[in-house]
Amino acid sequence: MNHPHTPHASFSTTPLYLSAPDAVALVRRKGLKNCIAGMAEYIRADFLRWPDFDKSARVANHSQGGVIELMPIADDTTYSFKYVNGHPHNTAIGLSTVMAFGVLADVATGAPTLVSELTLTTALRTAATSALAAKALARPNSRVMALIGNGAQSEFQAIAFQHLVGIDTVRLFDIDPQATTKLFANLSATGLKLQVCTSVAEAVQGADIVTTITADKACATIVTADMLAPGMHINAVGGDCPGKTELAADVLQAAKVFVEYTPQTRVEGDSQQMPADFAVTELWQVLNGTRTGRDNDAQITVFDSVGFALEDFSALRFMHEAALALGYGERLHLIPQLSDPKNLFVTLLDAGHKASALPLPCLATAIA
Amino acid sequence: MNHPHTPHASFSTTPLYLSAPDAVALVRRKGLKNCIAGMAEYIRADFLRWPDFDKSARVANHSQGGVIELMPIADDTTYSFKYVNGHPHNTAIGLSTVMAFGVLADVATGAPTLVSELTLTTALRTAATSALAAKALARPNSRVMALIGNGAQSEFQAIAFQHLVGIDTVRLFDIDPQATTKLFANLSATGLKLQVCTSVAEAVQGADIVTTITADKACATIVTADMLAPGMHINAVGGDCPGKTELAADVLQAAKVFVEYTPQTRVEGDSQQMPADFAVTELWQVLNGTRTGRDNDAQITVFDSVGFALEDFSALRFMHEAALALGYGERLHLIPQLSDPKNLFVTLLDAGHKASALPLPCLATAIA
């Protein structure tokens, strides 16, 4: 299952469509922890071949209420992009803060092969990436995680860290107590020991790993340097666009900082607060052994995660293959099916008109 | 009908899906020339409010066989993007050179409102934009057009110029005589006078307007300076990505050159051959009267068109409104429907688990 390529019907122009209900059914069928673990494997395999990818920072359209982004990436055979928004006030009107969908396409022809929901899938791939990074960067004996921000993605983080990192205790905090109530209830059957806390400082105290996954589009300082303890790993997920941060600058200053894709993180991550020459290490180099991760057990490590297109590429391939294998999804007629690809116009003609498409004598000069 | 905004159901997360067959049915129902004329009106209205848009050059992933591009744009209320490929060798395996789809979304929430085919629609909007530019730039008495490149988009150009510009005669040439045969047949019922030619030079001779719409991804010199006649307007559509040009540099040198969006055209258009300070005029400024178009009847004008995201924005809005008005399309469950948007995880739980989401006594400290 390592680094397989997405299969696709030759020359097909009917991409598979995986709806949100289909993705839910698929994840329930395979099991959430298996899906997160499977995605983490795909992500790891793709990070190990990092130089194979045509990478770019995402394209963002910012507005007063939020941001809409496109995140394209490709290797020699497969192209993907993700559409994703971030609108922190959406929950007030019953919409998700983050909604996403994604596409896979065949590099050789440009034909789309998959159109998929990517809201649920983003939650899975983000958790998978966080856990993958923590496995490489946190102290191996990490058991306690603080989870700051108990919104839509928090359960996925808890379950990923339980199964992939070995976390057994989660300390919960959110400025919205109802979010914490919801997270507590949702995690009640997982076997995780859950500790509800009344402040960030309380939650962070005694934690081996601190995961921040807050949604406010503001330069927040959720974790400050006085909360740090030697050997802590900070998984900073929520600070992911310009003007949206979670860590105080002196937290970054005190830590060894790891990123996905430097040009993007310097603009979008917590590192946006730091000078352009602030030292960061790319995760893929730690995974492939060319750079060291944590230098010692006392060091503070920060994964300044913003979400990179390659993670969606990996996640979409995982979902595509699982959907094809298990028979989920349907075909979308998004592209005209033409008997002659140079004759798009003929699709607009009725049968009577088509009959006039006969060889014409006046064309002899052109054909001769 | 001028510059209306796309209606959308409040807080809906089920975008309308307009398939390729639905788009064909819609265009047949409204009539092709009415659709092109309607789109030209939408494009003109949007070009007139050019400063309202958050514009960027498209993001392109180039590969050996072609290119895949994303073209986002937004105003204060509506966001759109287009996915489009360009693979000139696709026709050899029965696929279109250009395949596209597009999305509209609500800027206030980030929710997608339309997922639409954009292969047929691109052909319409490209023809509409070309005709709009020619109306502003060509001599008003233009009647004869040379059409160089008789592929999938050529019929749409001919019909747009017939109805919006007043062209009555089209001179056809393609290096592939079968393409010309197809175009001739498809235009046979239009009332246009059709003249099949054996070379570019022959087709251009006597033409008021020269439309080049060839597909080869190469620095071609399809139109050379010796073919030019005073007063000609050149509608250069096919030279639209790095390394893909149609006009000899001295044609541009001899002409007054008009573009859609300068930063994009200097990279992608025929103007990529020219120095960075080569003078160009943006079409929207001619349309709104702040810059002059053609200076006199003898001047050569070139519309160095590459296709800009705003044209797709306008075209998608036109198709969306027409589809809603006439009842075409269906709803796509691309985004999870959540009763509590902070509770994405609950969609994965079965009924038994959901029952455990009760207030828990140990949360008292957090809520107090």
Which tens digits make up the pLDDT trace of B266-301?
988 999 999 999 999 999 999 999 999 999 999 999
Give the pLDDT confidence of B301-313 residue by residue, as tens digits: 999 999 999 999 9
Contacts of B277 (CB under 8 A, 6+ apart): none
Rounded to the nearest 5°, which phi and psi values hold at A133?
-65, -45
CA A246 – CA A270 distance, rounded (Å): 7
A-chain CB neighbours of B65 within 8 Å are 107-109
DSSP 8-state class, residue A254 = T
User: Measured between CB atoms, which of A72, A179, A198 is closest to B342?
Assistant: A179
Q: Residue A189: what pLDDT?
A: 94
Disruptive mutation site among A22, A34, A61, A118 for chain B (greatest number of B CBs within 10 Å): A61
Q: Kindly report the average pLDDT of chain B as a whole number.
A: 90
Instruction: Check if the beta carbon of residue A317 is closer than 8 Å to that of residue A104.
Output: yes
Q: Is A186 on the interface with B (CB under 8 A)?
A: yes
**Overall average pLDDT of the A9-29 stretch:** 88
- A96 to B365: CB separation less than 8 angstroms, yes or no: no
For residue A83 the two structure tokens come to 């559409």
CA B123 – CA B261 distance, rounded (Å): 19
Cβ under 8 Å to A: B residues 327-346: 332-338, 340-346
Rounded to the nearest 5°, which phi and psi values hold at B127?
-65, -40
Q: Kindly report the average pLDDT of chain A as a whole number.
A: 90
For residue B154 the two structure tokens come to 């050529």
pLDDT > 90? residue A126:
yes
Q: Residue A258: what pLDDT?
A: 98
B-chain CB neighbours of A63 within 8 Å are 74, 76, 107-108
CA B183 – CA B186 distance, rounded (Å): 5
Instruction: Check if the beta carbon of residue A78 is closer than 8 Å to that of residue A99.
Output: no
pLDDT > 50? residue B357:
no
Give the minimum alpha-carbon distance from B24 to chain A in angstroms, rounded to a whole number. Answer: 6
For residue A100 the two structure tokens come to 């996403």
Cβ under 8 Å to B: A residues 228-257: none
Give the pLDDT confidence of A250-289 residue by residue, as tens digits: 999 999 999 999 998 998 899 999 999 999 999 999 999 9
- B117 to A335: CB separation less than 8 angstroms, yes or no: yes
User: How many interface pairs between A and B have CB atoms less than 8 angstroms apart?
Assistant: 310
- Return the residue matching tokens 């990074």: A133
Instruction: Check if the beta carbon of residue B156 is closer than 8 Å to that of residue B186.
Output: no
Give the minimum alpha-carbon distance from A24 to chain B in angstroms, rounded to a whole number. Answer: 6
Confidence of residue B196 (pLDDT cuts 50, 70, 90): very high
Percent of chain B whose pLDDT exceeds 70: 91
Instruction: Check if the beta carbon of residue B107 is closer than 8 Å to that of residue B78.
Output: yes
Q: Residue B56: what pLDDT?
A: 80
Sheet holding B193-196, edge to edge: B193-196, B169-173, B144-148, B209-212, B233-236, B301-304, B256-259, B281-282
- A87 to B108: CB separation less than 8 angstroms, yes or no: yes
Residues linked to residue A74 through DSSP beta bridges, in sequence order: A54, A79
Q: Residue A268: what pLDDT?
A: 87
> Which of A201-234 are b and which e, b meaning 16 or more Cβ less than 10 Å from the residue's Cβ?
ebbbeebbbbbbbbbebeebbbbebebbeebbbb
- Between these two residues, B267 and B8, which has the higher pLDDT value? B267
A240 assigned to active site: yes
Residues linked to residue A117 through DSSP beta bridges, in sequence order: A101
Cβ under 8 Å to A: B residues 289-308: none
Give the minimum alpha-carbon distance from A209 to chain B in angstroms, rounded to a whole number. Answer: 21
Q: Residue B286: what pLDDT?
A: 98
Of residues A240, A270, A304, A312, which has the active-site annotation? A240
CA A305 – CA A160 distance, rounded (Å): 16
- A119 to B63: CB separation less than 8 angstroms, yes or no: no
Instruction: Check if the beta carbon of residue B60 is closer than 8 Å to that of residue B67.
Output: yes
Give the pLDDT confidence of B113-149 residue by residue, as tens digits: 999 999 999 999 999 999 999 999 999 999 999 999 9
pLDDT > 80? residue A223:
yes
Show which residues of B are catalytic: 240
- B108 to A65: CB separation less than 8 angstroms, yes or no: yes
pLDDT > 70? residue A362:
no
Q: Residue A349: what pLDDT?
A: 84
Give the pLDDT confidence of B41-51 residue by residue, as tens digits: 999 999 999 99
Cβ under 8 Å to B: A residues 34-53: none
For residue B274 the two structure tokens come to 């020219």
Q: Residue A337: what pLDDT?
A: 87
Give the pLDDT confidence of A64-111 residue by residue, as tens digits: 999 999 999 999 999 999 999 999 899 889 898 889 999 999 999 999
> Which of B86-106 are b and which e, b meaning 16 or more Cβ less than 10 Å from the residue's Cβ?
bbbbbbeeebbbbbbbbbbbb
Q: Residue A220: what pLDDT?
A: 75
Q: Residue A217: what pLDDT?
A: 59
Residue type, B228: L
Q: Is A83 on the interface with B (CB under 8 A)?
A: yes
pLDDT > 50? residue B182:
yes
Contacts of A71 (CB under 8 A, 6+ apart): A58, A81, A82, A84, A307, A308, A309, A312
CA A183 – CA A186 distance, rounded (Å): 5
- B112 to A93: CB separation less than 8 angstroms, yes or no: no
Give the pLDDT confidence of A177-203 residue by residue, as tens digits: 999 999 999 999 999 999 999 999 999
Instruction: Check if the beta carbon of residue B213 is closer than 8 Å to that of residue B239.
Output: no
B293 to each of A28, A367, B133, B258, B283, how far by Cα in Å?
Answer: 61, 39, 10, 8, 8
A-chain CB neighbours of B176 within 8 Å are 342
B-chain CB neighbours of A360 within 8 Å are 181, 184-185, 188
B-chain CB neighbours of A13 within 8 Å are 95-96, 99
The chain B residue lying nearest A32, using CA atoms, is: B348
Cβ under 8 Å to A: B residues 105-134: 105, 107-112, 115, 117, 119-120, 123
- Return the residue matching tokens 């030209």: B40
User: Measured between CB atoms, which of B94, B101, B177 is closest to A341?
Assistant: B94
Confidence of residue B3 (pLDDT cuts 50, 70, 90): very low
CA B85 – CA A256 distance, rounded (Å): 41
Q: Residue A11: what pLDDT?
A: 62
- A341 to B156: CB separation less than 8 angstroms, yes or no: no
Contacts of A330 (CB under 8 A, 6+ apart): A16, A17
Q: Is A146 on the interface with B (CB under 8 A)?
A: no
Rounded to a whole number, what is the distance in angstroms from the first to the last CA of chain A? 56
DSSP code per residue over A316-366: HHHHHHHHHHHT--EE---S---SSTT-SGGGGS-HHHHTT----GGGHHH
Instruction: Check if the beta carbon of residue A67 is closer than 8 Å to that of residue A241.
Output: yes
Q: Is B14 on the interface with A (CB under 8 A)?
A: no
Percent of chain A whose pLDDT exceeds 70: 91
**Overall average pLDDT of the A17-24 stretch:** 97
Which range is most confident: A240-244, A305-309, B105-109? B105-109
Runs of H (alpha helix) within B248-350: 249-253, 262-268, 283-287, 309-326
The count of other CB atoms within 10 Å of the CB of residue A63 is 18
User: Measured between CB atoms, which of A79, A95, A345 is closest to B111?
Assistant: A95
A-chain CB neighbours of B96 within 8 Å are 13, 335-336, 338, 341, 344
B-chain CB neighbours of A200 within 8 Å are none
Confidence of residue B9 (pLDDT cuts 50, 70, 90): very low
CA B97 – CA B91 distance, rounded (Å): 6
